[in-house]
Amino acid sequence: MADLQPPVLSQDALSVAQLELGVNPNALAIRRTFDPVAHELDATFRLTRFADLKGRGCKVPQEVLTKLLEGLQQDDNNGQDEHAHFMHMGLATPRIGIGMDSSVTPLRHGGLSLVQTTDFFYPLVDDPYMMGKIACANVLSDLYALGVTESDNMLMLLAVSTKMTEKERDVVVPLMMRGFKDTALEAGTTVTGGQTVVNPWCTIGGVASTICQPNEYIVPDNAVVGDVLVLTKPLGTQVAVNAHQWLDQPERWNRIKLVVAEDDVRKAYQRAMDSMARLNRIAARLMHKYNAHGATDVTGFGLLGHAQNLSKHQKNEVSFVIHNLPVIAKMAAVAKACGNMFQLLQGHSAENSGGLLICLPREQAAAYCKDIEKQEGYQAWIVGIVEKGNRTARIIDKPRVIEVPAKEKDGELW
């Protein structure tokens, strides 16, 4: 597997790649917008055209996936004897696997567990460097959903589109790899290998692994009646990236131009990129401080899909009810103007590298939200409650939409 080798690039290609990175590649504010012409590419070059599906739109539908995974679940049940063996050794270490954000595998050595996840998706933004950052943040998010804050190692999975010219490949691929690597460094980890192939569609993702003691992760099954649900990033990323692509498609743009201006779409796209590239690491760290009872990250199955999956794994007879939906400004109106094709307010719209949905004790939730805003400069929201029920989740008929940000500020993204 550890065969990830960067393509051989000319010095010109490397110089061109550096154009995009600026002095500090982690600072979105000082980066230029990706300009194909500056790289001697055609002005109409769009990374998102190298796949027919966008981002988390690549996921197999949840109900289909559940059925497909039944065989694996049955095989996993055969591991119960092994699990009993670990318990017999005095290692009360849970095994977490199919259907959860990350797998947790007890090791033979002294109460340690391997926590591991893998993920990849197709391009959803046209800036290759930001696409790399988003892909890496998305992989790590599954660790953060378990309250794990350290990743010991990462691998990168990359597919270069067969439809790319050599010039396009030599510009785009190093930028995607650099974005992925920079976010890994930001997370305190490194990329040590992976796999690179050619494929009709471009893909990028990876594997994140860490070795944990039991107190370093939070098993997501302890929600109790009276808990509240907190969300750490706004919804609407899939709507924003689609709306931005429609700026080049008059027949699509005509459907939404009555409810949103071009500048609004461009700003929503910038906000979506900023949100998707942001790590959920601080959110995970604060889960320990404020005694979280479990969490999941909101990605391809949408807010409701992931809430339902989390509710099914609870030990107690509880259900989740969601009342509030924080959404990137103007994107709820865009979603409605599209004839509800995204089903954003129903919780079915795919998110990309979304926030954590966390079950917190009621008395701790407000302090959690205040603390994360103080540390990160970004809001988190109380979006629902945990009540007695049969391990289901639902969004009320008319949820309150919270526009994010509530007010526009000149020169500020949020």
Return the active site residues.
Answer: 58
CA–CA separation, 162 vs 198, rounded Å?
6
Phi/psi for 215 (5° steps) reads -80, 0
Beta strand spans in 64-176 (E) = 103-106, 113-121, 153-161
Which SS3 state, helix, strand or coil, does residue 211 take? strand
Alpha-helical segments (H) within 221-361: 237-246, 250-256, 262-277, 281-289, 302-312, 331-337
SS3 content of the chain, % helix, strand, coil (to 5): 40, 20, 40
CA–CA separation, 113 vs 73, rounded Å?
20
Which SS3 state, helix, strand or coil, does residue 214 take? helix
CA–CA separation, 20 vs 172, rounded Å?
11
Q: Which helix (H) or strand (E) holds 318?
A: strand 318-328
